[in-house]
Structure 1
Amino acid sequence: MSMTPYTIAILQADLDDLQERLTRVRWTNELAGVGGDYGVDLPSVKRLVEYWQSGYDWRIWEAKLNAYPQFTTTIDGQNIHFLHVLSGEDNALPLILTHGWPTSVVDYLDLIGPLTDPRSHGGEAGQAFHLVIPSLPGFGFSGPTTEKGWDRYRVARAWAELMRRLGYDRYGAHGMDWGSTISPEVGRCDPEHVVGVHVTEIFSFPSGDPAEMAALSSKEQDQWQAFQEWVKKKGAYATVQSTVPQTLAHALADSPVGQLVWNYQMYGDELSDNYILTNVMIYWLTNTAASSARLYYEDAHAEQVPTEPTTVPLGLCNFADVYQSIRRFAQRDHQNIVSWNVYDRGNHFSTQTAPDLLINDLRTFFHKLCPKKEANLGDEG
């Protein structure tokens, strides 16, 4: 039940070891003129590694994280690291924010100010939140998982327990990527306390009934085809991590450039080098390549999978070039979709590429559900 204050303090020896490894990188070969057709291209990797060696400063980002209260606690035998940032506004709604892979709690750093102190960031007092931002089990400063079974459902139960320990009787849940699969499960396992769930994707897929596919509109058919094309071109990481995560992890644990490239395949060029490298650093410094990849395996092999639709109010905040959220499928799995907003900019990493849209959508969604927010402050806060 205890909450232990936590400060990130990476040993200088670990940073020196990283730099030494980077000086000994052995570059791969590649075909001329193919660009990214075969995967992440060599020039992009060389540019990032050069910046990693000579321009990037981990201590700056360590200090940015340490500027916010952090804690650890043990839930279901697993260490859980989380940021807990209280708003100064009365009746702020507690909100748990869940990141995905290959990211971390760094995703939400730029949202902390606007969400906890809306009046200083173009909002109103009634739009304020108390924020709980955990590192997924097996990710980052939560450290590696030590036993089997940490699928989305177990994580959701851990999140509900975390919010209970913090003393929150009513709270919301938001997530992106894995957070978009976990957050609806938080609502499913704790419906008495979750007022609503807000996600950037809804992972609902065809049931196998041909009539369901035949009923898709032309727009939905195009959307499904676009998603299938994305899976063919960029979905190999999920197949590997859901089948043989340990095989891959041996390479990533030994090579920082390998960890960089495996993560970078999902990032692309739209995101800042500092954001990319800080996330890579968290995986590297905590040696969680294996345990973070295991989430895919555990979820693919989950033994107790709910079949009934969720009932807690659900809102989608979807961004450009994110294709998998098809409403016809989503309504089968979630019977209480109350908000469905699709934006023509941003992307999968919306906290970085369209934070204004995401913040406004979060404020609007929860304000409609809780026009008069009432919440208890967390016990450890």
Structure 2
Amino acid sequence: MVSLLCLVALLFPLSATSSAGFDVQPFRVDLGHEVAHMKALVQNTRLPDKPLYPEASIEFGMELDVLRDLQTKWLNDYDWAKQEATLNELPQFTVTIEGQSVHFVHAKSEEPDAIPMLLLHGWSGSFQEFLPVVKPLTQSWTSPNGTRISFDVIVPSLPGFIFSSPPPQNWTNADTARIFNKLMVNVLGYSTYSLHGTDWGSSVGYILYSTFNTTVRAAHFNLLPFIAPDPQSLNITLTDIEKVTVQRSLDFRATGLAYNMEQAFKPNTIGLALYDNPIGQLSWIGSNILLCKVRPPALGPRPRCSPTRPSLTMVSLYTLTHTFQSSVWIYEQNPNGFSADYVKPATDAPMGYSLFEYELQFTPRDYVEKVAGKLVSYKEHDFGGHFAGLDNPPALVEDLRELGLYFGS
């Protein structure tokens, strides 16, 4: 019988090889031995019989009925083995760079002139949030003018996240950018590449875009590492989608940053409290995912929604790899990760930006242009939000393909 690893190799040739003294090792997700313990913790977690305050909605944190429903689904419907098999459909590797073990997906296109694309996640995401877009990006696409575009896709796990080792305490996103540039150039052999970043991945990505300007020759973001401007100070006409995101940004700035403050100032407190507590992690992470999917009250009725199946995989990965604590330290390590200074970067590389209606941060086109070497696309989408790779994969793929038309220009 052909092994799963062989099947993966047929679909996506094992492309990462040892290079320039770096020892690249094939990697497979193999966490089945941890599942029984996780399931026992989920089953034995006692939740209240009824809400303390029934009228308290998601603005006050995770709702009891949502959490109880997810607990039941986690126990009765969720199949980790199936999710693990899905994760292993893509070729994965590890390599040590500057003493850090870096885990990454490397899926190559069959096209010889494919564009290298580095996809960068944030918290509470992981490499898993980009799985829906990896295969489509490796496939050849022909633009209306006849240009063929495809990508070699690289998706690393940030240091301290999932399968990448925890970094030193004084590690910053600038350090992550440096070793990821080494991954692309020195390990994988790409002289130039493109990237996409979201959340903390946008911080790492923007450092790469503005600092490593000879190797990063195109960048795309659906969130930028800049503090959102005060809408009252803007002298611009907003589009309908911008009106939604500006209200969401105001609401989030007013009431949604409690988790951020805790993780920025007391990462060990929350990290240890939830270290071996999957339901606690689900409540902590899931409440933020809920906020990513709720329409602001000022804009009309809000749909009730709960974290989707991918969020159970998201939390399972943190629980099974015991990396929740190390992941939240990124907030303490990067107090200036988001800047208030909209300054033109020292690069002429093209930039694309996608505004998804349910994003938590508002950055109008005029402000995106301030921090772009050359803004070549600004797209609006009325479906999707902070986790665009999970929420609206076709739109993200389409926008990244359009960016590919400008690669190297």
Q: Same fold (TM over 0.5)?
A: yes
Structure 2 residue 250 is the aligned partner of structure 1 residue 238: no
The sequence identity of aligned pairs, in percent, is: 29
Cα distance between partner residues in 2 of 1:245 and 1:38: 21
Cα distance between partner residues in 2 of 1:99 and 1:123: 32
Counting only pairs closer than 5 Å after superposition, residues 155-170 of structure 1 correspond to structure 2 as 155-164=176-185, 165-170=187-192
Deviation at 1:298, TM superposition (A): 0.7
Deviation at 1:30, TM superposition (A): 2.3
Cα distance between partner residues in 2 of 1:52 and 1:363: 36
Cα distance between partner residues in 1 of 2:116 and 2:373: 24
Deviation at 1:152, TM superposition (A): 2.0
Structure 1 residue aligned with 2:42, among 7, 13, 22?
Answer: 22
Indicate the residue corresponding to 2:25 in structure 1.
4
Structure 1, gaps ≥5 residues long: 372-381
Structure 2 residue aligned with 1:195, among 217, 230, 243?
Answer: 217
SS of equivalent residue, structure 1 residue 71 = strand
SS of equivalent residue, structure 2 residue 118 = strand
Indicate the residue corresponding to 2:174 in structure 1.
153
SS of equivalent residue, structure 2 residue 96 = strand
Deviation at 1:107, TM superposition (A): 1.0
Segment of structure 1 superposing worse, 22-31 or 214-223? 214-223
1:274 to 1:112, Cα distance in 2 relative to 1, 3 A: same
Cα distance between partner residues in 1 of 2:260 and 2:175: 20
Query: Does structure 2 retain, via aligned residues, the 8 Å contact 1:204–1:329?
Result: no
Write out per-residue CA displacement over residues 127-182 of structure 1, whole angstroms, 9 at most, x where no aligned residue: 1100111011111111333x123322221111101001100012101112222222
Cα distance between partner residues in 2 of 1:345 and 1:124: 28
Structure 2, gaps ≥5 residues long: 1-21, 294-304
Query: Does structure 1 retain, via aligned residues, the 8 Å contact 2:120–2:201?
Result: yes
Write out per-residue CA displacement over residues 248-270 of structure 1, whole angstroms, 9 at most, x where no aligned residue: 11111031100111110122266
Write out per-residue CA displacement over residues 323-356 of structure 1, whole angstroms, 9 at most, x where no aligned residue: 4213343344334323222222222222222211
Counterpart AA for 1:357? A
Aligned residues: 364
SS of equivalent residue, structure 1 residue 56 = coil
Counting only pairs closer than 5 Å after superposition, residues 340-355 of structure 1 correspond to structure 2 as 340-355=378-393
Cα distance between partner residues in 2 of 1:103 and 1:231: 20
Structure 1 residue aligned with 2:326, among 288, 291, 313?
Answer: 291
SS of equivalent residue, structure 1 residue 260 = helix
Counting only pairs closer than 5 Å after superposition, residues 1-381 of structure 1 correspond to structure 2 as 1-12=22-33, 14-28=34-48, 30-118=52-140, 126-145=148-167, 147-164=168-185, 165-205=187-227, 214-217=233-236, 219=238, 224=246, 226-268=248-290, 273-300=308-335, 309-310=344-345, 311=347, 312-322=349-359, 323-370=361-408
Deviation at 1:91, TM superposition (A): 0.3
Cα distance between partner residues in 2 of 1:305 and 1:204: 6
1:218 to 1:370, Cα distance in 2 relative to 1, 3 A: closer
Cα distance between partner residues in 1 of 2:307 and 2:341: 38
Segment of structure 1 superposing worse, 44-53 or 338-347? 338-347
Counterpart AA for 2:372? H
Query: Does structure 2 retain, via aligned residues, the 8 Å contact 1:206–1:329?
Result: no
1:342 to 1:172, Cα distance in 2 relative to 1, 3 A: same
Cα distance between partner residues in 2 of 1:206 and 1:30: 35
Query: Does structure 1 retain, via aligned residues, the 8 Å contact 2:227–2:340?
Result: no
Query: Does structure 1 retain, via aligned residues, the 8 Å contact 2:218–2:351?
Result: yes
Indicate the residue corresponding to 2:11 in structure 1.
none
SS of equivalent residue, structure 2 residue 217 = strand
SS of equivalent residue, structure 1 residue 137 = coil
Cα distance between partner residues in 2 of 1:35 and 1:123: 50
- Considering fraction of residues, name the structure with more helix: 1
Cα distance between partner residues in 2 of 1:7 and 1:35: 40
Cα distance between partner residues in 2 of 1:287 and 1:33: 35
Q: What is the Cα-based RMSD across aligned positions, in Å?
A: 2.9
Query: Does structure 1 retain, via aligned residues, the 8 Å contact 2:111–2:140?
Result: no
SS of equivalent residue, structure 2 residue 213 = coil
Deviation at 1:321, TM superposition (A): 2.8
Deviation at 1:62, TM superposition (A): 1.0
Segment of structure 1 superposing worse, 321-330 or 39-48? 321-330
Query: Does structure 1 retain, via aligned residues, the 8 Å contact 2:218–2:408?
Result: no
Write out per-residue CA displacement over residues 198-256 of structure 1, whole angstroms, 9 at most, x where no aligned residue: 11112323689xxx974532539966554122222322111211111111111110311
Query: Does structure 1 retain, via aligned residues, the 8 Å contact 2:199–2:225?
Result: no
Cα distance between partner residues in 1 of 2:84 and 2:341: 39
Counterpart AA for 1:156? A
TM-score (ref. length: structure 2): 0.81
Deviation at 1:272, TM superposition (A): 6.2
SS of equivalent residue, structure 1 residue 43 = helix
Deviation at 1:123, TM superposition (A): 12
Cα distance between partner residues in 2 of 1:134 and 1:40: 30
Write out per-residue CA displacement over residues 60-93 of structure 1, whole angstroms, 9 at most, x where no aligned residue: 1111111221111112221110011111112001
1:214 to 1:37, Cα distance in 2 relative to 1, 3 A: closer
Cα distance between partner residues in 2 of 1:366 and 1:265: 35
Cα distance between partner residues in 2 of 1:167 and 1:291: 30
